[in-house]
């Protein structure tokens, strides 16, 4: 599936960054903005490149889970089991939040699947909503983990 470069820049990179942020939080890796942005951008570019090939839709998600796991484990020295779980849960959260947003917001904005696939602006605007929800989820999970850690002291 060919994705315009503008969609990569305006939706793909923020989405990759949101997934990475959530994965950092779940795997309890300290949040470092430069690492998160670098990994998130790399994930987005990998997704973009993989989707250029004629492979079944969804394969890119499996590859992103694997790439995110490897990057979290190698470059952040995170716990292997926790990094694997974080990679899976982050991508699962993306699928759930993105699907829910699309299903709930398409009727609100009177957008069909055909319109969504045809017009990049619609796809990018709807995409930003689920990206924002992923960042909010990462913030809330991080706050919950910090609170649990504080209570256990």
Domain boundaries, the chain: 5-151
pTM of the model: 0.91
pLDDT confidence of residue 43? 93
What value, to the nearest 5°, has the Cα angle with vertex 110 and ends 108 and 114? 130
Single out the residue of 39, 33, 19 nearest to residue 137, CA to CA.
19
End-to-end distance of the chain based on CA atoms, in angstroms? 50
pLDDT at 52: 85
What's the confidence (pLDDT) of residue 1?
59
The confidence score (pLDDT) of residue 42 equals 94
- Give the mean pLDDT per block of 10 residues along the chain (153 residues): 79 95 95 95 91 84 92 89 96 94 87 78 85 96 90 77
Taking the CA atoms of the chain, what radius of gyration do you get in angstroms? 16
* Rounded Cα gap, residues 120 and 123, in angstroms: 5
């Amino acid at each position: 599936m060919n994705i315009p470069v503008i969609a990569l820049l305006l939706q793909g990179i923020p989405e990759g960054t949101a997934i990475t942020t959530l994965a950092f939080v779940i795997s309890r890796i300290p949040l470092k903005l430069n690492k998160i942005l670098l990994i998130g951008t790399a994930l987005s570019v990998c997704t973009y490149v993989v989707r250029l090939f004629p492979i079944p839709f969804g394969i890119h998600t499996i590859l992103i889970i694997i790439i995110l796991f490897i990057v979290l484990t190698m470059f952040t020295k995170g716990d292997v089991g926790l990094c694997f779980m974080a990679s899976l849960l982050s991508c699962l959260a993306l699928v759930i939040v993105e699907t829910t947003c699309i299903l709930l917001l398409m009727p609100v904005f009177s957008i069909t699947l055909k319109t969504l696939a045809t017009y990049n602006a619609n796809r990018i605007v709807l995409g930003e909503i689920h990206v924002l929800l992923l960042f909010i989820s990462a913030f809330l999970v991080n706050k919950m983990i910090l609170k649990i850690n504080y209570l256990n002291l």
